Amino acid sequence: MSVSVPADGHYAVVNANVPASVLGEPASGALKTVDITIADGAIASIGPAGSATLPQKIDMRGDIVLPAFVDLHTHLDKGHIWARKQNPDGTWMGALKAVLTDREANWAASDVERRMDFSLRCAFAHGTAAIRTHLDMAPPQHEITWDVFSAMRERWAGRIELQGAGLMGPDTILDGEKLRGVATSTKAAGGILGGSTAVHPDNPLIMRKLVEIAGELGLDIDLHTDESPDPAANALECLADAVIESGFNGSVTAGHCCSLAVQDSETAKRVIDKVAQAGIAVVSLPMCNMYLQDRDNSDGVRTPRWRGVTLLNELKAAGVKVAIASDNTRDPFYAYGDLDGFEVFREGARILHFDHPQAEAFAWARVVSADPAAIAGFGYTGELAAGAPADLVLFKGRSWTELMSRPQADRTVIRAGQAIDTTLPDYRELDDLMGQA
């Protein structure tokens, strides 16, 4: 849609439909029509429709306005390598091996920097204000990537708030010297301690070692746990046990947690209860998990039997803080995606079934904005509230079904009260990195 935003930054977005919680009502899917007054890059007030007094107005005619997005789990260092390194069979292990090969051959600082910047330009154009990215830390990559990430965080300050989590595999975590090296570089870069494990005989030790060094260095934790179709995967439960037993009081986030959905109900309930007790937040990656999980080509072409995602509804019902996020972008783990928070929300509703009853569905809009912002502790809160930055996304759709039925490619993105250029970067910019120049 074409919206003309007054250049002086003093105007009102009127007759806008927003979640009722914006007006202090209980979180639900109900929509309320309001006027949002904007001045000096911030939201000056939110009141009932007809309350705005500024002469310059943008009339939404009942269309929906949401806050800018927060993407809690991405991989900016892997992004957009698909053209030079595809996944040979679409499996998780195929992706892991393909990325390892590409990383060893190509991930010089200049390569990582250009792909990161391209990804961030896509996210910004779609309306994202904050991103946490996991960064491969297999030595010696940690000596390259943290420097690139730190420079990117400074370059994008004021547009996208960035956090980085150092990602290690089980072998690195179990090697005390390597673990300390990665953890120390993570601390120096102002990062978060990350890792990945699913089915592993040493998961209890892995989690104890991670929690111990995180506590020693004052680091928060964000792990890939149980990204597997194997019900024997126990990384999430071992993480909860380690947090509870140690009394660790930092922020802890677990991503994926796919195995929870294929475990028996007794096991799943036990694990969910422990996760809630430990205060661990869970982030689901619906598009990537559906793409990778239950893909088995050993006997030829086969249709998957499950969606690959975790028990997000049950986790939320148990009081666990939850979010959904993009995950990978055009790399061997996920051949598609564009760091579009609305695409994540729209597809998440279909995949995770949080869209019914629809009277409650818009309460879930927070899983791509305010909820992940709170989990990560971003300065950007993802809230529509008086005094908050005027970081808004204006859509064409008056109701839940109208909003979610189209990709909203013509959305208007407002940052600090001004409409931004939403033109996406051309893939041709990366052709020379992909050997296509």
> What residues act catalytically?
227
Residue 360 exposed, middle or buried by CB count within 10 Å (0-12, 13-18, 19+): middle
User: CA 189 to CA 183: how far, in whole Å?
Assistant: 10
Q: Of all helices (H) and strands (E), which one includes residue 282?
A: strand 281-284
Residues 6+ apart with CB under 8 A from 18: 31, 32, 34, 36, 46, 64, 65, 66, 384
The C-alpha atoms of residue 305 and residue 24 are separated, in whole angstroms, by 42
Residue with tokens 């300065």: 379
Q: Which of 316, 289, 312 is nearest to 228 (CA)?
A: 289
Element (H, E) at 209: helix 203-217
- For tokens 């249709």, what's the residue? 303
Closest by CA position to 417, among listed 37, 36, 42, 21: 42
| Exposure on the CB side of residue 30, measured as CA atoms within 13 A | 12
Contact 67/322 with Cβ under 8 angstroms? no
- Which of 342, 421, 387, 361 lies closest to 71, judged by CA? 342
For residues 131 and 255, give the distance between their C-alpha atoms in angstroms, rounded to a whole number. 15
Amino acid at 240: A
DSSP per residue, 227-252? -SS-TT--HHHHHHHHHHHHT--S-E
Determine contact, residues 354/313, Cβ cutoff 8 Å: yes
d(CA 99, CA 110): 17
- At position 254, the amino acid (one-letter code) is A
Within 13 Å and on the Cβ side, how many CA atoms surround 135?
36
- Tell me the three state secondary structure of residue 165: strand
